[in-house]
Amino acid sequence: MTAVPVPPIPTAQAVDGARLLGELRQAFIRYVVLPSPQAADAVALWTAATHAQPAWEHAPRLAVVSPLKRCGKSRLLDVVAETCHAPLITINATIAAVVRSIGADPPTLLVDEADTLWGTRKQADTNEDLRGLLNAGHQRNRPMLRWDVTSRTAEQLDTFAMALLAAIGELPDTIMDRAVVIRMRRRAPGEQVDPYRTRRDAPPLNQLRDRLAAWARAHLRELQQAAPAMPLEDRAADTWEPLIAIADLAEGDWPARARDAAATMTQAEAQQEEDTSAGVRLLADLRQIFEAADAEALYTTTILDRLHKLEDAPWADWYGRPLSTRELAKLLRPYQVRSKSVREHGTGASLKGYARADLHDAWQRYVVPTPQTTHATQKEEPAAQAPRPDVADAHPSSDTSATSRPAVSDVSQGPEASATGLTWDVAHVADVAAPATSNGNGWRYDQSLVPCAACGTGTSNRAPSGRPLHLACDTRTTAEGPHHG
């Protein structure tokens, strides 16, 4: 029986890099539906770059995020784990164990369900060291310092390592800013992938991994000295440089594809940030519109008309055209605000619109109060505090005191200091007295301004009997409230 000759394993120099990257890309799209061709190119380039980590100045993160579960994040991590360099899965690993696993030839950190690490404030505080490690490890020569109690010396622990993080929702901004971001989504009915089984599918992926390693390791010096022309600047250029250097080494159409992926995906992330900030701006403008209209509900057409008329706002020229109904709904959806049938000012036909009550929670969470809105809020819901006609009323002096304190009416006539010497022009405090509250002396304060029974000027103070009396008319207080001598 004649033995079949075994072809020699090709040397790294003889490897067709473009074809090898094509095989890697095909392996990913076989098992995972990626959001775009550029995303598929980026994942393949990032995985190939893990095999040349000693050559890089920066270690890009791969942030695999999705709005919901069952979008393919874990399956993508499975394929990366079988094709990247020295995968280190960090589930339940302590920060000490992780940082001591990193050395001159670092592993590839794989963090699944990263949203459970920073999803709440308590979780974020607990895992702050891991976030610091991931931030520092993006750039070479950013060690973590630890004190060794045994040797009584300071240890400098390496942090430089490429990392993949999969999460539902957004990761911390400091990590996203250092990452190639893949925004996964659920498969549509017509999108099909092969089922993945580790026992059957891992061996051929491991063979592909070994070929990638041989090719990349043979060109470490060349990759270390590479200075590829970048379509990006600043930190985005730092993050994408290893991927583009790998593409340039592979040649073929990969250099053009890598740069297209870098430009397209970075622009998409910038747009994502702009849409998020635009949503906050929209919430603020909507609050202004609702307050000006003094309405509990407004039609969508009314809202759009008033948004388009706002000065120095982007809504009249939203990407070349006025903001539309559909775009308005899309911007408000992340804040759980949706349109419904409303009656504007409680009258008229029932049409699609938005209710103030549905927007209130988003305003409270995302919109910083401005002086104008704060003042308007005070008019609607006055502060629960009693007016101070003078210091004597607020803090009665003893009978032996020889000091008489001037009434607020005296202070309000000019920029004179109050009796305490700490306030100026405080007479207007009476205008914002809280409705139906008491100062402990039997007083009741209403929101409505009514004429004083004595002097006829507006006052929001009422005696217990209900008769309106102006505090500025007299400073003496009895069981019935202030009176005229």
Q: How confident is the model at residue 153 (pLDDT cuts 50, 70, 90)?
A: confident
DSSP 400-448: T--PPPPPHHHHTTTT-B-TTSS-BS-GGGGGGPPTT---SSS-EEEEE
Same domain, 282 and 300: yes
Instruction: Provide the H-helix boundaries in 84-178.
Output: 95-100, 115-118, 121-126, 128-136, 173-176
Domain final residue pick, 221, 252, 283: 252
Tell me, yes or no, whether 73 and 179 share the same domain. Answer: yes
The answer to whether residue 196 sits within a structural domain is: yes
Beta bridge partners of 5: none
3-state secondary structure (DSSP) of residue 89: strand
pLDDT tens readout for residues 297-326: 999 999 999 999 998 888 998 888 999 999
pLDDT in the model for residue 370: 54
Encoding tokens for residue 19?
């074809």
User: Domain span at residue 139?
Assistant: 12-252
Across the range 32-41, mean pLDDT stands at 95
Contact 194, 31 (CB under 8 A): yes
* Whether residue 344 is found in the same domain as residue 436: no
- The model's confidence at residue 278, banded by pLDDT at 50, 70 and 90, is confident
Q: Is residue 87 part of a domain?
A: yes
The reply to whether 197 and 242 lie within a common domain is yes
Rounded Cα distance between 117 and 120, Å, is 8
Residue 451's SS3 state is: strand
Same domain? For 286 and 195 the reply is: no
**Confidence class for position 398, pLDDT limits 50, 70, 90:** very low
pLDDT for position 463: 44
pLDDT, residue 247, reads 97
3-class SS at 475?
A: coil
Residue range 51-60, pLDDT digits in tens: 999 999 999 9
Q: How far apart are CA 388 and CA 428, in angstroms?
A: 10
| 408, 426 Cβ separation under 8 angstroms | yes
Q: Are residues 57 and 156 both part of a single domain? A: yes
The residues, ordered by sequence, that sit 6+ positions from 262 with a Cβ below 8 Å of its Cβ are 42, 230, 231, 232, 236, 240, 243, 244
Res 408: pLDDT:
38
Residue 207 has pLDDT above 50, yes or no: yes
Query: What is the arithmetic mean of pLDDT over 197-204?
Result: 95
Average pLDDT of the segment spanning 89-98: 76
Cα(165)–Cα(143) distance, rounded to whole angstroms?
21
Indicate whether 346 pLDDT > 60: yes
Whether residues 103 and 28 share a domain: the answer is yes
Same domain, 216 and 282: no
Is there a single domain that holds both residue 329 and residue 464?
A: no
The reply to whether 150 and 225 lie within a common domain is yes
| Structural domains of the chain, count | 3
> Any idea what the CATH number is for the domain that residue 21 is in?
3.40.50.300
First to last CA, the chain: 130
| Greatest alpha-carbon span in the chain | 130
Residue 13 is classified by DSSP as G
pTM: 0.60
Residues 219 and 294 occupy one common structural domain:
no
In a domain, 29, yes or no: yes
Phi first, then psi: what are they for 101, rounded to 5°?
-90, -10
What pLDDT does residue 414 have? 41
Identify whether residues 19 and 70 lie together within a single domain: yes
* Residue bearing the bigger pLDDT, 441 or 165: 165
Task: Provide φ and ψ at 63, rounded to 5°.
Answer: -95, 110
